[in-house]
């Protein structure tokens, strides 16, 4: 049973963190800082005040545009804030303890990684490596997966995709799979254990194939697939399947 007060706290925390993550997703790939200086409009450079920084509500009140120059506010802000709010509400609402915080952190980081890989085919070490570390620490309170299963999951997850990447490079003479994907699968192995890896890969592959077919990318032999996005999206259903069938 979800606890309303805990869910509200989780939603508020998620919305606030989502505001930061949205800015990170937009600026980080461009080499722009997200930690220095105050937030400003990307169009006119006006420093944003408190009324401009309320997650989701500020954009709704200004109809998605800057109050000074009328420039369009990237809708990614609201989407990431809403997504993080939902993740926080569900994770902490159902688990108002350290384990719930762990699941929330996992969901928030996976959301950022999914969007970054979808937009830029980029899974930065600054997110994947801390994600793996959290799997061995706070992740221990989030689920009953043993430490040895987490260690095996991290090693096998990383090693499997690393082997595929190296084999493809040897056979084809070019990169076909980024090492960021291997690090992400290793991090998920650290959270969910080695038992979840087959479900993760199967669900992510089916998702990727479906998107490729629907968008028509499957017709192009050189089309790039953001595998990290689908691995991130597959984490929740893979965890549920592992718990139901194996746990």
Q: Give pLDDT, residue 11.
A: 97
Q: Give pLDDT, residue 164.
A: 87
Predicted confidence (pLDDT) per residue in 168-222, tens digit? 778 777 776 778 999 999 999 999 999 999 999 999 999 999 988 887 766 666 6
Band (49; pLDDT cuts 50, 70, 90): low
Asked if 165 and 125 count as a contact pair (C-beta separation under 8 A), the reply is no
Predicted confidence (pLDDT) per residue in 130-139, tens digit? 999 999 999 9
Q: What is the token pair recorded at 109?
A: 């980081």
Backbone angles phi, psi at 230, to 5 degrees: -75, -30
Q: Compute the distance between CA of residue 207 and CA of residue 186 in angstroms, rounded to an integer.
A: 19
Where in the chain does DSSP place strands (E)?
A: none
């Amino acid at each position: 049973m979800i606890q309303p007060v805990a869910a509200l706290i989780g939603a508020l925390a998620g919305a606030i963190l989502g505001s930061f993550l949205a800015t990170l997703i937009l600026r980080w790939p461009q080499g722009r800082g997200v930690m220095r200086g105050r937030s400003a409009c990307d169009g006119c450079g006006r420093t944003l005040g408190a009324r401009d920084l309320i997650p989701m509500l500020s954009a709704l009140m200004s109809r998605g545009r800057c109050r000074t120059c009328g420039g369009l506010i990237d809708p990614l802000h609201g989407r990431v804030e809403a997504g993080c709010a939902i993740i926080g509400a569900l994770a902490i609402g159902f688990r108002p303890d350290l384990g719930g915080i762990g699941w929330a952190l996992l969901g928030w980081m996976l959301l950022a990684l999914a969007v970054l890989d979808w937009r830029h085919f980029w899974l930065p070490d600054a997110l994947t490596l801390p994600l793996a570390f959290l799997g061995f620490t706070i992740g221990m309170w989030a689920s009953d997966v043993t430490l040895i299963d987490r260690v095996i999951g991290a090693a096998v997850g990383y090693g499997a995709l690393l082997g595929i990447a190296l084999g493809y490079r040897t056979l084809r003479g070019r990169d076909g799979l980024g090492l960021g994907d291997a690090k992400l699968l290793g991090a998920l192995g650290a959270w969910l254990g080695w038992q979840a890896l087959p479900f993760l890969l199967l669900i992510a592959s089916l998702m990727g194939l479906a998107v490729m077919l629907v968008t028509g990318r499957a017709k192009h032999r050189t089309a790039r697939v953001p595998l990290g996005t689908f691995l991130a999206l597959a984490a929740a259903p893979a965890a549920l399947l592992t718990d139901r069938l194996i746990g």
